[in-house]
Structure 1
Amino acid sequence: MTPIDDDAPPLDPAESLALIERERAQVGRDLSPDPRLMYWPWGIAWLVTFTLFFLRYGPDGRVFVDLPGWLPLVALAVCMIAAGIVTGVAGSRVSRRVMGPSNRQGAMYGISWSVAFTAFSVLFSQISDVLPEDKAGLLWAGGMVAVTGALHMAGAAIWNDRDMFILGSWTSLINIVGILAGPGWHSLIVAVAGGGGMMAAGLIGWLRQR
């Protein structure tokens, strides 16, 4: 006689622990957004826009490609808006399935990004006019990348996410190197190392999530 499920022998402790771990991992994947959707849009945005800035506003005022002066700025705005929409949609799909403190933490963290960038934009707009054009550009780019790195590290502290902390630390490090290298070089470093770092973070996070 074939036993029914109720007659099946109980799992031994090792099998029970393995089953619990598999279920926990599955729940974690279901309640976590795809890292590729959270990092790749920003990585692509940084790679494209900062490359355009480097080609148009290179080191020592060199113009590698005679692009219209407005093109890098427009590309930056478009890419940032597009990346924000993609990550916002990806995050909202997960947040709808989560209630309680975690949901509030995510909402407050998202608001912190908007407030920080708005505050720095207001500050920089008040002082950039008194700086040479290349230094003003470095102020805006370096300041915004600095905010990004710091907020990534803060988010890592909230969710105990080592990978996010590494990304924030890497972003902060290459930003400092770029600032010290000067206008033009900063754009190239952030495009390659910053955008590439976000692309790598999305891929590594996705592989680990699998």
Structure 2
Amino acid sequence: MDPNNEERPPADPAESLRLIREQQVFAARQLNPDLRTFIWPWGVAWLVGFGLEFLRFGPDGRVFVPMPTWLPLAVLLILLAGAAVLTSVVSRRGYGQTAGDSARRAGWYGAAWGLGYATVAVTLSRVSNDLPIEQANLLWAGVTTGVAGILQMAGGAIWLARNLFRLGIWITVINIVGVLAGPGWHALILGLLGGGGMLLATAFVPSGREAPE
């Protein structure tokens, strides 16, 4: 062997620990999904979508900004679908280079988002036309938000991600409060406390990609 070989193990134990730590950090960044990417798309979707809903269908039937009645719900559903797709992609990429249980969890979790929203869309489209528009919008918003909260909690349970699980709880609680408050109020609560709260929370939520201690 060449004694000058640059690939020989470092003689200094401290240097060995440093190299191990660097590899742990690299592996964590490659394999663990950034929890903030689970939050940003939903924050934007809810702040914009529910914001438009509130401006067009305010409490007690008030119209703060005139716009087509179909526009707020259409924008909200498009943004929610985009957030669901991005969440699925992030979960798959995070574990796409692994095999076994981790890869299966990611694949099944991503499928749950897609199939969950497909089920909601098909089911609600069959009944929402029989309701007044304010009640129909509340039905769509409440059910789609409920699905998101449940799946966020499921994701936190799968990866033992405490912040993601807490996010799911927060989403679920404010959704229940908003539905009980009724049309207009639900949109305001979800837009400010849901969307705005999530975007604000990303400044304090760790990425989830740090190496283990």
Give the TM-score normalised by the residue count of structure 1.
0.82
10, 13, 17: which is aligned to 1:11? 13
Q: Does 1:103 align with 2:93?
A: no
User: Residue 188 of structure 2 aligns to which amino acid in structure 1?
Assistant: L
Which residue of structure 2 lines up, in the alignment, with residue 65 of structure 1? 65
Q: Does 1:54 align with 2:62?
A: no
Which residue of structure 2 lines up, in the alignment, with residue 198 of structure 1? 198
CA deviations over 1:128-185 (Å, ceiling 9, x no partner): 3443332222121111111111111111111111011100000011111111211101
CA deviations over 1:175-199 (Å, ceiling 9, x no partner): 1111121110100111111112332
Residues 1:173 and 1:21: Cα distance change in structure 2 (over 3 Å): farther
For 1:21-36, list aligned pairs within 5 A. Answer: 21=21, 23-36=23-36
User: Residue 119 of structure 1 aligns to which amino acid in structure 2?
Assistant: T
Q: Distance in 2 between matches of 1:7 and 1:24?
A: 17
Residues 1:7 and 1:62: Cα distance change in structure 2 (over 3 Å): closer
Deviation at 1:18, TM superposition (A): 6.9
Deviation at 1:205, TM superposition (A): 3.9
Which residue of structure 1 lines up, in the alignment, with residue 119 of structure 2? 119
Q: Distance in 2 between matches of 1:27 and 1:100?
A: 17
Identify which range, 52-61 or 69-78, moves more after superposition.
69-78
User: Residue 101 of structure 1 aligns to which amino acid in structure 2?
Assistant: D
CA deviations over 1:50-77 (Å, ceiling 9, x no partner): 1000000111111010111122133224
* 1:67 counterpart SS class: coil
Q: Is the 8 A contact 1:163 1:201 kept in 2?
A: no
User: Residue 58 of structure 2 aligns to which amino acid in structure 1?
Assistant: G
Q: Distance in 1 between matches of 2:115 and 2:27?
A: 32
Q: Distance in 1 between matches of 2:144 and 2:204?
A: 25
CA deviations over 1:78-121 (Å, ceiling 9, x no partner): 32344345445544443432222211111111111222222233
Q: Distance in 2 between matches of 1:80 and 1:141?
A: 10
* 1:68 counterpart SS class: coil
Residues 1:20 and 1:63: Cα distance change in structure 2 (over 3 Å): same
Higher relative helix content: 1
For 1:58-207, list aligned pairs within 5 A. Answer: 58-206=58-206
Q: Distance in 2 between matches of 1:85 and 1:112?
A: 11
Gaps of at least 5 residues in structure 2 are none
Which residue of structure 1 lines up, in the alignment, with residue 40 of structure 2? 40
* 2:13 counterpart SS class: coil
Gaps of at least 5 residues in structure 1 are none
Residues 1:111 and 1:167: Cα distance change in structure 2 (over 3 Å): same
Aligned residues: 206
> Percent of pairs identical after alignment?
45
Give the TM-score normalised by the residue count of structure 2.
0.81
* Aligned-residue RMSD, C-alpha: 2.8
User: Residue 105 of structure 1 aligns to which amino acid in structure 2?
Assistant: R
Q: Is the 8 A contact 2:88 2:109 kept in 1?
A: no
Q: Is the 8 A contact 1:59 1:185 kept in 2?
A: yes
